[in-house]
Amino acid sequence: MSARPRVEVMHGVNLDQLGRRDPALYGTLTLAELERRIEREAGELNLAARFFQSNHEGAFVERLHALREDADAVVLNPGAWTHYAWAIRDALEIAALPAVEVHLSNIQTREPWRRVSVIADLCLASISGHGADGYGEALLMLRDELGDPS
């Protein structure tokens, strides 16, 4: 059996505060709990998940720069950076990997400024408002895109 496809799951600014943020919008899981759930779901899909979180835009950009060597696909929730961080968009373009954008809350039904995503057109899909389930949906899309190596 060949190696499992590697999916980098990236969380941006303030996502390390899950569990303390409004549960009506973001659910009750901490980031560690969310990552354990995503890791289990990735395993069930024969994918190897790896995780990254930063509150520093430059660190997030540099992780994206390194991804070409380290990952086959990326799931990303950049938090508020989604709405204005053009440097993250450029870095995602440089990474040139299949990508799916995930948001726990529904960014289309909140404040008008959240409706803009500067990364959406670089992603296979933008999943928003499905809570933690959105990550499983993103992994499934990427597994279908990459193909099952087994």
Q: Which residue has the tokens 């600014």?
A: 13
Q: Which is nearer to ligand DQA, 45 or 126 (CB)?
A: 126
Using CB under 6 A, pick the residue from 9, 100, 104, 139 that binds ligand DQA. 104
| Ordered alpha helix ranges (H), the chain | 23-26, 31-44, 57-70, 86-95, 133-146
Of the listed 11, 26, 130, 135, which one is catalytic? 26
Q: Which is nearer to ligand DQA, 79 or 98 (CB)?
A: 79
d(C-alpha 150, C-alpha 55), whole Å: 36
Q: Which residue has the tokens 């989604």?
A: 82
Residue 84 appears among annotated catalytic residues: no
- Taking CB under 6 A as the rule, does residue 14 contact ligand DQA? yes
Judged by CB under 6 A, the chain residues 59 through 78 that form the site for ligand DQA are 77
> Residue 138, exposed/middle/buried by CB under 10 A (0-12, 13-18, 19+)?
buried
Residue 103 appears among annotated catalytic residues: yes
Q: Which stretch binds ligand DQA (CB under 6 A): 49-57, 66-74, 88-96, 99-107?
A: 99-107
Which tokens sit at 108?
């289309």
The residues annotated as belonging to the active site are 26, 103
Which chain residues interact with ligand DQA by CB under 6 A? 14, 77, 79-80, 82, 103-105, 107, 114
